[in-house]
């Protein structure tokens, strides 16, 4: 039995790079604890949560029993629902007391994406502090967003309690000053719980791959700096081949062994457990119970099943780049759930455009992304690289506001402005301004943007929509005379959105939900990319072949129901599985052109 199931703390956090299996492990842990007779609350703080898919049961934005698992309740912290409830809690008592204009002014102050983040955080802090829905639970299991945004979430208790101490006069994102003392106590309780090893354990989840382990090591160090010292490492998806002649299988085992031998020092001292790769998707209670009942067992079919052919609509990434290139300039947004390979796909698109003679700017909104690691050094053509770094953008934004708006203020007013800018909300505003600047740059050339995982990108788009509405309201100009970032995102001649997914049930559902959310915002996706496909590789290992055969119906569903129509059929690229994200110009162009083959040459470690 996994150690954190045998002896759980009252709060269990699961975090790691997108796609490493956090949700499967957190759900399996919650089910196992409930089966053992504990009262368990399972909470997702990921705006793109898929708890319902994995549990095979409805999960909403209010706590509800999971009918098929006695003792288990579940909750998705929905940022929009949390924001509505938060605004009503702040504004409700003022209706009928203050003038209508004053109430409307407070509502406008609480209408931005900044307040959305604070509302979701406020819900999280209450749960961590053991209040409300968490008060009757023996264990609260948190399934968190991918690493970069989880670190942001875990920094907020200390950041907000410190800001309230330094700014007793009030904060527009939190509401009027009268409620700040209650919130300060809540945030201090949340920060204290995070630092107490008797109350909180953090489980770092990683695949036996060097990028995932490197990110887990960075997380371990940053969490330790926050005072979160009770950490465990779970290496998920450990593969043991049974077909010696399968080059891909052998390369996977070799790379995993190398990654574990070279495990970063920050992880080497942590208690570590492994979970074996399964031949099936981890969806449903039977699969979850099997996962933790014998987590180290290596299951495999006796013989490799036949893998059907992929649909004819499955093309390569270079064909999508052909259409993108025809415009001569524009924005390419690479979007999807964490762990599907957005950074690699973005780097491949940028490399292909640069190799064709175009100047390309490659940037990212993902706090955990590392574009330089994907590009390598032998990149053809002209590519400039940047990263929308939240800390750097916040400093830049703060300096600009103090230099402009603060220029004519007296000392007291300038001091109040500086205090307001120390609010953690300032980071959200600063990141939005940097995002808008990058979007505008695409009017003069190609910009390829590697976005943050789905839920947080949607929050950024929500900020874009809020800004659009505010500009139209305050400018007094007709819409046709105003160009906002949202209008550029909604222009299919300016913006091409590539939706990246894996050929598995849950990632495809999540990508379809992302596409629906984009369409509701008036943004039409350009094409789909199915990344790291085993079905597109040559293999004979029974376990890998079983997983490959399960991929084919998912790719067919993408081709038939989800991929947008192009001039010659669905815009769909399928990228074969490679042992690691291709690094460098030659490998990235091979990936774009569908030349990644499952043989020793393409799969040998870099």
Active site residue 506: yes
Q: Shortest CA distance to 556 belongs to which of 546, 577, 570? A: 570
Which candidate in 9, 15, 24, 344 is catalytic? 24
Active site residue 17: no
The DSSP symbol for 315 reads B
- What residues contact 504, with CB distance under 8 A and at least 6 apart? 281, 550, 551, 554
CA angle at residue 300 from 299 to 302, to 5 degrees? 135
The DSSP symbol for 96 reads T
What is the secondary structure of 509-535 as a DSSP string?
A: HHHHHHHHHHHHTT----EEEEEEEST
Active site residue 144: no
Residue 164 CA: distances (Å) to CA of 124, 381, 395: 18, 50, 20
H-helix segments, 356-453: 371-375, 390-404, 411-421, 425-441
Going by their DSSP bridges, the two strands 231-238 and 330-335 should be labelled as unpaired
CB half-sphere exposure, 172, CA atoms < 13 A? 18
Active site residue 342: no
Active site residue 46: yes
Which candidate in 23, 45, 423, 495 is catalytic? 23
Which candidate in 19, 175, 338, 341 is catalytic? 19
d(Cα 551, Cα 419) in Å, to the nearest integer? 53
Which candidate in 16, 18, 29, 46 is catalytic? 46
Which candidate in 15, 451, 464, 506 is catalytic? 506
d(Cα 158, Cα 80) in Å, to the nearest integer? 23
Name the token pair of 11. 């709060």
Instruction: Tell me which H or E stretch contains 105.
Output: helix 100-109
d(Cα 522, Cα 487) in Å, to the nearest integer? 9
- The residues pairing with 272 across neighbouring beta strands, listed in sequence order, are 233
Which candidate in 22, 115, 365, 394 is catalytic? 22
Active site residue 19: yes
Q: Where are the beta strands (DSSP E) in 277-411?
A: 330-335, 359-364, 382-385
d(Cα 302, Cα 202) in Å, to the nearest integer? 37
- What residues contact 196, with CB distance under 8 A and at least 6 apart? none
Which candidate in 16, 18, 21, 112 is catalytic? 21
d(Cα 472, Cα 467) in Å, to the nearest integer? 9
Q: Shortest CA distance to 266 belongs to which of 351, 204, 342, 194? A: 204
Active site residue 366: no
The contacts found for 64-73 with CB under 8 angstroms, 24 or more apart, are 66/34, 66/42, 68/285, 69/31, 69/34, 69/35, 69/285, 70/34, 71/34, 71/35, 71/37, 71/38, 71/39, 71/40, 72/30, 72/31, 72/34, 72/40, 72/42, 73/40, 73/41, 73/42, 73/133, 73/137
H-helix segments, 176-316: 180-195, 210-225, 247-261, 265-268, 285-293
Number of H helices, E strands in the chain: 24, 17
Name the token pair of 144. 């968190």
Name the token pair of 63. 């706590």
* Helix, strand, or coil (residue 200): strand
List active site positions: 19, 21-24, 46, 506
């Amino acid at each position: 039995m996994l150690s954190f199931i045998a002896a759980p703390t009252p709060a269990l956090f699961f975090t790691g790079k997108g796609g490493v299996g956090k949700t499967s492990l957190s759900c399996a842990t919650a089910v196992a604890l409930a089966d053992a007779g504990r009262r368990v609350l399972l909470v997702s703080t990921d705006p793109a949560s898929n708890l319902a898919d994995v549990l095979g049961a409805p999960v909403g934005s209010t706590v509800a029993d999971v009918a098929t698992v006695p003792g288990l309740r579940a909750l998705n912290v929905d940022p929009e629902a949390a924001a509505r409830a938060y605004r009503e809690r702040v504004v409700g008592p003022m209706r009928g007391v203050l003038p209508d204009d004053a109430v409307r002014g407070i509502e406008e102050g609480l209408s931005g994406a900044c307040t959305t983040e604070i509302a979701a955080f406020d819900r999280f802090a209450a749960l961590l502090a053991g209040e409300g829905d968490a008060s009757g639970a023996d264990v609260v299991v948190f399934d968190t967003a991918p690493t970069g945004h989880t670190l942001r979430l875990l920094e907020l208790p200390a950041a907000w309690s410190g800001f309230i101490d330094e700014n007793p006069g009030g904060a527009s994102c939190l509401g009027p000053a009268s409620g700040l003392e209650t919130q300060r106590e809540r945030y201090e309780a949340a920060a204290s719980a995070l630092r107490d090893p008797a109350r909180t354990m953090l489980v770092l989840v990683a695949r036996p791959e060097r990028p995932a382990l490197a990110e887990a090591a960075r997380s371990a160090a940053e969490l330790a700096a926050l005072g979160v010292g009770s950490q465990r490492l779970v290496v998920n998806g450990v593969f043991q081949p049974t077909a010696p002649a399968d080059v891909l299988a052998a390369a996977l085992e070799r790379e995993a062994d190398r990654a574990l031998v070279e495990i970063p020092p920050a992880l080497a001292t942590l208690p570590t457990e492994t979970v074996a790769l399964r031949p099936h998707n981890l969806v449903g209670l039977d699969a979850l119970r099997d996962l933790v009942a014998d987590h180290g067992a290596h299951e495999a079919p006796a013989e490799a099943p036949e893998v059907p052919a992929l649909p004819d609509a499955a093309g390569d990434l270079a064909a999508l780049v052909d259409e993108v290139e025809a415009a001569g300039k524009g924005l390419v947004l690479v979007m999807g759930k964490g762990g599907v390979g957005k950074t690699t796909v973005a780097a491949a698109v940028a490399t292909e455009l640069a190799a064709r003679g175009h100047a390309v700017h490659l940037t990212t909104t993902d706090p955990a992304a590392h574009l330089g690691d994907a590009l390598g050094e032998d990149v053809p053509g002209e590519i400039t690289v940047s990263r929308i770094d939240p800390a750097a953008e916040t400093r830049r934004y703060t300096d600009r506001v103090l230099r402009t708006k603060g220029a004519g203020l007296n000392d007291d007013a300038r001091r109040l402005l500086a205090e307001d800018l120390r609010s953690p909300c300032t980071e959200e505003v600063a990141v939005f301004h940097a995002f808008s600047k990058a979007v505008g740059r695409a009017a003069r050339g190609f910009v390829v943007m590697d976005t943050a995982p789905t839920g947080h990108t949607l929050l950024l788009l929500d900020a874009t929509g809020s800004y659009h509405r505010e500009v139209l309201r305050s400018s007094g100009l007709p819409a046709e005379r105003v160009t906002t970032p949202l209008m550029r995102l909604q222009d299919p001649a300016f913006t091409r959105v590539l939706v990246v997914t894996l050929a598995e049930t849950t990632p495809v559902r999540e990508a379809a939900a992302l596409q629906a959310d984009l369409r509701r915002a008036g943004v039409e996706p350009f094409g789909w990319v199915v990344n790291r496909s085993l079905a597109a590789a040559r293999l004979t290992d029974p376990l890998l072949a079983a997983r490959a055969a399960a991929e084919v119906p998912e790719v067919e569903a993408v081709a038939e129901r989800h991929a947008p129509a192009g001039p010659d059929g669905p815009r769909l690229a399928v990228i074969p599985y490679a042992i690691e994200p291709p690094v460098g110009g030659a490998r990235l162009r091979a990936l774009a052109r569908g030349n990644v083959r499952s043989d020793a040459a393409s799969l040998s470690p870099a």
